[in-house]
Amino acid sequence: MRVLVTGGAGFLGSHLCERLVRDGHEVICLDNNITGKASNVAHLLGARFTFLEYDITNYIHVSGPLDAVMHFASPASPIDYIRLPIQTLKVGSLGTHKALGLAKDKGARFILASTSEVYGDPLVHPQSEDYWGNVNPIGPRGVYDEAKRFSEAMTMAYRSAHGVNTGIVRIFNTYGPRMRIQDGRVVPNFITQALCGKPLTVYGDGKQTRSFCYVDDLVEGIVRFLNTDHPGPVNIGNPREMTVLEFAHIIRDAVNPAVDIVFKDLPVDDPKTRCPNIELASRILDGWEPRVPLEQGIKPTVDYFRQAMQDCD
């Protein structure tokens, strides 16, 4: 296949590109590098992999055929999308429109990287795809949540109005090598804090829950989904749910048992729970389920941060 990946130099995008190249496909990766970085994909450059620094909120032209357009471009960490609210809204709206137009033009399957954030602060638990969500459109996270909700609506409109073979995947918390050290999310924060002997910063009382999926498991689910004609939305994530405080203990035990745990203010609109129902994924993706236990997946993640960190300040 010949596949275009937007946001291909980001954390998830780079793992997806790597997997597609390894599977023998030709990949064109577009990224404007506002949260991605070219070095994430530098090792892939070659006959089957092209990287172009480009802002996909502008018209996208690609010559030659495409079998798939995979739209993974967006800031995805709360501190990034709060810092970049307009870019986040633009890539979810204008960027999705442009990427869909390209897929339509090429007759390509279109995959939208959506998010568990469409469920907002969920009132249904675990979250299955038929839940409509509980989102504050004007809160700090609204720029991301609503951009992704719009992008889902736009994707469905291109399916019904233009017959594009679209698929929506809702991605839950994912971790692994190439997460940005400074992106403010709980995984890089706790691991770098533990590596530096600093206290782990638990926000609120730490009773809010998250469910963490290793990146290879996520990519496997997405590649299987690419190879179907299913419209989704389909949740991809790891249903092992834990409190943030439990997660802090797991990281502390694994990385540096000497560090303290301290409590900081809970960010506004921080969802209280998050756990994917993955029955649909299992049914339509040939029994897909996460295989990598957290205790195993954090090892390569910690190794990555150890190497990537310049110093502890």
Residues involved in catalysis: 144
Token output for 45 = 């450059």
Contact segment (CB under 6 A) with ligand UDP among 24-32, 59-67, 105-113, 262-270 equals 262-270
Give the nearer residue to ligand UDP in terms of CB position, either 167 or 206.
206
Would you count residue 74 as binding ligand UDP (CB under 6 A)? no
Q: Count of CB atoms within 10 A of residue 207's CB?
A: 13
Instruction: Tell me whether the omega of the peptide bond preceding residue 188 falls within 30 degrees of 0, making it cis.
Output: no
Choice from 201, 228, 256, 282 touching ligand UDP (CB under 6 A): 201
Would you count residue 208 as binding ligand UDP (CB under 6 A)? yes
C-alpha to C-alpha distance for 54 and 261, rounded to whole angstroms: 41
C-alpha to C-alpha distance for 23 and 33, rounded to whole angstroms: 25
Minimum gap (Å) between residue 262 Cβ and ligand UDP:
10
Minimum gap (Å) between residue 144 Cβ and ligand UDP:
9
Token output for 71 = 């739209």
Choice from 173, 192, 238, 277 touching ligand UDP (CB under 6 A): 173
Instruction: Tell me whether the omega of the peptide bond preceding residue 126 falls within 30 degrees of 0, making it cis.
Output: yes
Minimum gap (Å) between residue 202 Cβ and ligand UDP:
4
Would you count residue 87 as binding ligand UDP (CB under 6 A)? no
DSSP for 34-46, written as a single string: SS--GGGTGGG-B
Would you count residue 203 as binding ligand UDP (CB under 6 A)? yes
Contact segment (CB under 6 A) with ligand UDP among 14-22, 35-43, 57-65, 196-204 equals 196-204
Would you count residue 270 as binding ligand UDP (CB under 6 A)? yes
C-alpha to C-alpha distance for 277 and 133, rounded to whole angstroms: 14
Give the nearer residue to ligand UDP in terms of CB position, either 28 or 194.
194
Give the nearer residue to ligand UDP in terms of CB position, either 110 or 172.
172
Would you count residue 189 as binding ligand UDP (CB under 6 A)? yes
Give the nearer residue to ligand UDP in terms of CB position, either 165 or 173.
173
Cα angle: 197, vertex 37, 76; to 5 degrees = 75
Would you count residue 16 as binding ligand UDP (CB under 6 A)? no
Residue in 207, 209, 206, 189 with CA at minimum distance from that of residue 198: 189
Token output for 236 = 């991809």
C-alpha to C-alpha distance for 133 and 21, rounded to whole angstroms: 35
Minimum gap (Å) between residue 110 Cβ and ligand UDP:
25
Closest chain position to ligand UDP (CB) = 185
Would you count residue 66 as binding ligand UDP (CB under 6 A)? no
Give the nearer residue to ligand UDP in terms of CB position, either 103 or 118.
118
Strand 174-175, strand 241-243: pairing: unpaired
Count of positions on this chain that bind ligand UDP (CB under 6 A): 14
Minimum gap (Å) between residue 91 Cβ and ligand UDP:
17
Residue ranges binding ligand UDP (CB under 6 A): 78, 173, 185-186, 189, 201-203, 208, 210, 244, 266-267, 270
